[in-house]
Structure 1
Amino acid sequence: MEVVVDLKPSRIGPAVLLAAAMVWSAGSPAAPFAPRGPADPVYPALGNAGYDVQRYDLDLTYRAGTRTVDATAEVTARAGQRLPSFELDALGLDVHAVLVDGAPAAFRAHDEKLTVLPRSAVRPGALMRVSVRYTVDPHAALAHTGWVRTADGFALAGQPDGAHTVFPCNDVPSDKAQFSVRITAPDNLTGVASGALTGTGSSGGQTTRTYVSRDPIATELLQVSVGTYTVRQQQGPGGLPLRDVVPTARAAATEPALALTAGQLGWLEQRLGPFPFETYGLLPADTDDPAAFDFTGLETQTLTLYKPGFLLQPEAKIGSHMVHELTHSWFGDSVTPQTWADLWLNEGHADYYGLLYRYERGWPDSSGFTTLEARMKDTYARGDQWRHDSGPVAAPNAANLYDSQRYLGGVLALYALQQEVGDQVFNRIEREFLKRFHNGNASTRDYIATASQVAGRDLGPFLTAWLYGDRTPPMPHHPDWTVTPAAGQQRAFAAVPRGSATL
């Protein structure tokens, strides 16, 4: 029997709020140095050193009249060094007060940071609790945002660098943490979040629901949504609880798509092992702002977000993409990239299994191919041009992070490995990698090391050439495959919308 404790953010009284609203301006004395973390190679402005986040307790109240959110975020973190001050990633948040271990702290918002100056330095090894009270407008005009504005609420799409526009955090994939979310909304709306529902209460025309994650979540993978929803419960393989959250007006129309999940789970579990989380489900958004939805699906943990209308199409149109997003539960959510340079581990694997699922069923892909070998031969011919235009598979930058090189380029590297070591060894590599880094982070180098250990030989030179080389290596067992020489002039590279697949 599992006993769930409802951990709530600290309630901050009015008197404390007044004392805590200590904001220093650009002209105020400078705060002590706040340590920055090892820079992410793709998003170097994000991430903070000096502490390791253990959990986030979020308390969000949706104000339907203003369509704004009043929030308290409590960040529990262990200090890795003495911290006279520290920083959280935050952008577009109207911060009202900050407490550190219950005591008011001075703070300043600047760039994409919230710098906090506690009354006394946090000791090395200490567990600090940082409470931030703020208001945020999901409709604010930001250059980038983690909010998806829907017809009567919102959803979250924090990948890759938008979570800190929703809540103050250490917004890097390497600092995964536990989450609890309390979401309050008018009674006619439903609030949902990643994890399992642990409590519901109503008062004054408002309903509060509490969700707790069993497993750690990277900041960019958190889902919280409010809307006019119908929650559909079913069972997957082995009794796994499945929870789909669908706009009530389209609940009946989405039933055929929702019925596919259980079979897709069984198919993937045969290849990757047991599903890694406590539940899974789909969340097709109902947005009034199509421009805010620049992806087809996004693998927010335990509750995958989909663009409006996508799941209303026939199975042959959506099945492989559904498997792509479901594969992310293993590659991306359970095993999260160490840095954004390792994105191919997510997208290459998701496309690989999505394509296998498609071809087993005889569905032509978007290019008309019906076998993985035919698709890979075509992709191989483009290899040098893609490397010229978009860099090696495992060396992206912010501008080309979601180019096809991370998707089909990643599939090509996996296909080359499978050709080199054979099906049995390749399948053992996949399962060992997932087992070894379950609920953690892994880098490209970690994948290479795992592959070498499982294969019993050094695959470093082979995989390094495929993942970091400037030229496309020979494809094992296919000496007749040729690469088209790259054009000298860089061509416009076809980008894949974030969270989408090239299936």
Structure 2
Amino acid sequence: MRYRSRVTAPAAALLGTATALTAGSPARAAGTGRRTGEPAPETLGDPVFPTLGNGGYRVSSYHLDLAYDPTTKRVECAATLKIRTTCALTRFSLDALGLDIHTVSVSGATAVWEQQQEKLRITPAGPLAADAAVTVRIDYAADPRGTLSHTAWVPTPDGFAICPQPNSAHTVFPCNDHPSDKADFSFRITVPSGLRAVANGLLTGTESLSGGRTAYSYHSVSPLATELVQITVGDYVVKDRQGPSGLPLRDVVPSARAAALEPALALTPGQVSWLEQRLGSFPFETYGLLPCNSDDPNAFDFTGLETQTLTLYKPNFLLQEEKKIGSHMMHELVHSWFGNLVSPATWADLWLNEGHADFYGLLYRYERGWADSLGLTTMEARMKDTYARGDQWRHDSGPVAAPNATNLFDSQRYLGGVLVLYAFRQLVGEDLFHSVERAFLDRFRGSSATTEDYIAVASDVCGQDLSGFLRDWLYGTKTPRMPGHPDWTVTPVTSSLVAPHSRRGGHVHDNSATL
């Protein structure tokens, strides 16, 4: 779940984004003989964020080496990427914004580079052959307090956390910032004594350095989409506990709030067990919560964010009683399967993440008899209410699987997605529905998938062509009839825009209005 505004803007007026060239020789970079290849495309053609991502290569791994200085509040960084070219290239690009680039090298040789809007263009010393394994290193600095038009940085009184979704990982590190290009990640984060650094995956080493500093190293066993990266520094205590089947759980909590947060943290093992019964074994090496040490609404305008293996939360949210937070925690946990294990191939496929997360979050709520935000206590009652809004939502926000950058995170992707899944379950029955869910997760494990992929799996598993049914629900401008409920009606569309969510500004979507 992600609710912060993501509006792209020219980068020349922002920190560290003016066009620049390295000290490397342009003549050497250009070469003296005939060059082979061509500049790589600076887009992956995403329908929601058309300038996001880069073509001509795939990233196999990132290693991020960061050092945080609490005096200056700046971070000195080195990003090492291993990429494989998909065609012969004379130049390629990475997404980057607000980063103070120092040097760039390609396979150990100094490269010419320039920053143009949100792209870091890199010209290696010589052309790159097709299917070549290449190492790219970028040394740079960043300021978590920067005033970018969109940013992943969340400054806190004692450090920072990051929330990259959907298109802001490249304000933290240069990358191919698109969920279709998942890669391995490792991290080394150096902090002064008294602070703790944590990142995705498992702790692989702790090194004591001179000057009272400590370097923490982490590695993600499973590939990550850039939007799911988490790096945090602060006065934290790490609390370990055991989950179902020996799953190691680790929560990263502000030291001063550790005791107060314990009731919420203790809910995770039971929630994992509940969801494993429906979706299969937990897909990653660990899981836990990160109630980041900031309640500033200007820096932290959402409830939770499903960064892989370590879900980011606003601390005060988790201090509420279980019936106020349980379904939201389930929503974020579901993303370990839908969104993290299987990522959206494009941002138009977001409903696969959010529709599934709300679907299981609501089931979890109603099983426990907790009333939702409308005072309803059953899935059927909630879906009848949602169904009545269907044509208005399609009028205001487009079809479920056809968002744009303005309405990407409104309720049509959340509850609208739930309504699609409910209709599908009504059509095929609960057993086939769950078979489709598991087959989809198994088939696209560790990669990304499109809406059409889900439709194809549904048709394969159910033994019938369901493409017409599901496409009508996902792309139609009118709400189809609900299977099993011929009496349900859709409220006529009004001429005025009626916001289908509680907070209509800057992509803010407060999940308390959904669940």
Cα distance in 2, alignment partners of residues 431 and 498 from structure 1: 28
CA-based RMSD of the aligned residues comes to 1.7
Q: CA deviation at 1:490?
A: 3.0
1:107 pairs, out of 104, 113, 124, with 113
Tell me the equivalent position of 1:314: 321
Q: Alpha-carbon deviations, 1:24-48, whole Å to 9, x = none?
A: 8xxx99x963323431001111110
Q: CA deviation at 1:287?
A: 1.7
Tell me the equivalent position of 1:497: 508
Q: Alpha-carbon deviations, 1:146-184, whole Å to 9, x = none?
A: 111111100010000110000000001100000001011
Cα distance in 2, alignment partners of residues 183 and 369 from structure 1: 46
8 Å contact from structure 1 (residues 104, 118) kept in 2: yes
Q: What secondary structure, in the 3-state scheme, does the structure 1 residue paired with 2:48 have? A: coil
Q: Percent identity?
A: 62
Q: Alpha-carbon deviations, 1:322-342, whole Å to 9, x = none?
A: 000000000000000000000
Cα distance in 2, alignment partners of residues 388 and 229 from structure 1: 46
Q: Alpha-carbon deviations, 1:44-85, whole Å to 9, x = none?
A: 111100000000000010011011100000011000011111
Q: Alpha-carbon deviations, 1:375-423, whole Å to 9, x = none?
A: 0000000000000000000000000000100000000000000000000
Tell me the equivalent position of 2:85: 79
Q: What secondary structure, in the 3-state scheme, does the structure 1 residue paired with 2:298 have? A: helix
Tell me the equivalent position of 1:369: 376
Higher alpha-carbon deviation: 493-502 or 112-121 = 493-502
Cα distance in 2, alignment partners of residues 79 and 426 from structure 1: 39
Aligned pairs for 1:252-271 within 5 A: 252-271=259-278
Tell me the equivalent position of 1:7: none
**Judging changes above 3 Å, is the alpha-carbon distance between structure 1 residues 95 and 23 closer, same or farther for their aligned structure 2 residues?**
farther
Cα distance in 2, alignment partners of residues 232 and 361 from structure 1: 27
8 Å contact from structure 2 (residues 295, 316) kept in 1: no
Tell me the equivalent position of 1:439: 446
Tell me the equivalent position of 2:225: 218
Q: What secondary structure, in the 3-state scheme, does the structure 2 residue paired with 1:309 have? A: helix
Matched, 1:63 2:69: yes
TM-score (structure 2 length as normaliser)? 0.91
Tell me the equivalent position of 1:92: 98
8 Å contact from structure 1 (residues 298, 499) kept in 2: no
Cα distance in 2, alignment partners of residues 293 and 303 from structure 1: 16
Cα distance in 2, alignment partners of residues 498 and 112 from structure 1: 26
Cα distance in 2, alignment partners of residues 330 and 294 from structure 1: 24
1:51 pairs, out of 48, 52, 57, with 57
Q: CA deviation at 1:438?
A: 0.6
Q: CA deviation at 1:500?
A: 4.1
Tell me the equivalent position of 1:456: 463
8 Å contact from structure 1 (residues 108, 115) kept in 2: yes
Cα distance in 1, alignment partners of residues 67 and 420 from structure 2: 45
Q: CA deviation at 1:498?
A: 5.3
Cα distance in 2, alignment partners of residues 286 and 23 from structure 1: 46
Tell me the equivalent position of 1:125: 131
Cα distance in 2, alignment partners of residues 493 and 436 from structure 1: 33
Q: CA deviation at 1:110?
A: 1.1
Aligned pairs for 1:33-52 within 5 A: 33-52=39-58
Cα distance in 1, alignment partners of residues 152 and 452 from structure 2: 29
- The one-letter code sitting in structure 2 at the alignment partner of 1:97 is T
Matched, 1:187 2:175: no
8 Å contact from structure 2 (residues 107, 135) kept in 1: yes
Tell me the equivalent position of 2:165: 159
Cα distance in 2, alignment partners of residues 489 and 33 from structure 1: 47
Q: What secondary structure, in the 3-state scheme, does the structure 2 residue paired with 1:78 have? A: strand
Tell me the equivalent position of 1:207: 214
Q: CA deviation at 1:492?
A: 3.9
Tell me the equivalent position of 1:342: 349
Q: Alpha-carbon deviations, 1:340-364, whole Å to 9, x = none?
A: 0000000000000000000000000
Cα distance in 2, alignment partners of residues 226 and 325 from structure 1: 22
State the number of aligned residues: 481
Cα distance in 2, alignment partners of residues 490 and 364 from structure 1: 28
Tell me the equivalent position of 1:273: 280
Cα distance in 1, alignment partners of residues 150 and 256 from structure 2: 29
Q: Alpha-carbon deviations, 1:438-480, whole Å to 9, x = none?
A: 1110100000000011111010000000000000000001000
Q: CA deviation at 1:288?
A: 6.4
Q: What secondary structure, in the 3-state scheme, does the structure 1 residue paired with 2:137 have? A: strand
Q: What secondary structure, in the 3-state scheme, does the structure 2 residue paired with 1:484 have? A: coil
Cα distance in 2, alignment partners of residues 114 and 375 from structure 1: 47
Tell me the equivalent position of 2:184: 178
Cα distance in 2, alignment partners of residues 352 and 125 from structure 1: 42
Cα distance in 2, alignment partners of residues 249 and 50 from structure 1: 48
Matched, 1:396 2:403: yes
8 Å contact from structure 2 (residues 103, 139) kept in 1: yes
**Judging changes above 3 Å, is the alpha-carbon distance between structure 1 residues 98 and 324 closer, same or farther for their aligned structure 2 residues?**
same
Matched, 1:231 2:238: yes
Q: What secondary structure, in the 3-state scheme, does the structure 1 residue paired with 2:177 have? A: coil
Cα distance in 2, alignment partners of residues 366 and 97 from structure 1: 52
Q: Alpha-carbon deviations, 1:221-263, whole Å to 9, x = none?
A: 0000000001000000000000000000000001111100000
**Judging changes above 3 Å, is the alpha-carbon distance between structure 1 residues 267 and 210 closer, same or farther for their aligned structure 2 residues?**
same
Aligned pairs for 1:316-331 within 5 A: 316-331=323-338
- The one-letter code sitting in structure 1 at the alignment partner of 2:143 is D
Matched, 1:332 2:343: no
Q: What secondary structure, in the 3-state scheme, does the structure 1 residue paired with 2:396 have? A: helix
* Structure 1, unaligned runs of 5 or more: 1-18
Q: What secondary structure, in the 3-state scheme, does the structure 1 residue paired with 2:315 have? A: coil
Cα distance in 2, alignment partners of residues 450 and 128 from structure 1: 36
Tell me the equivalent position of 1:11: none
Q: CA deviation at 1:218?
A: 0.1
Cα distance in 1, alignment partners of residues 123 and 488 from structure 2: 60
Q: CA deviation at 1:277?
A: 0.1
8 Å contact from structure 2 (residues 264, 319) kept in 1: yes
Cα distance in 2, alignment partners of residues 209 and 498 from structure 1: 34
* Structure 2, unaligned runs of 5 or more: 1-20, 32-36
Q: Alpha-carbon deviations, 1:86-125, whole Å to 9, x = none?
A: 0000000000000000000010011100000100011111
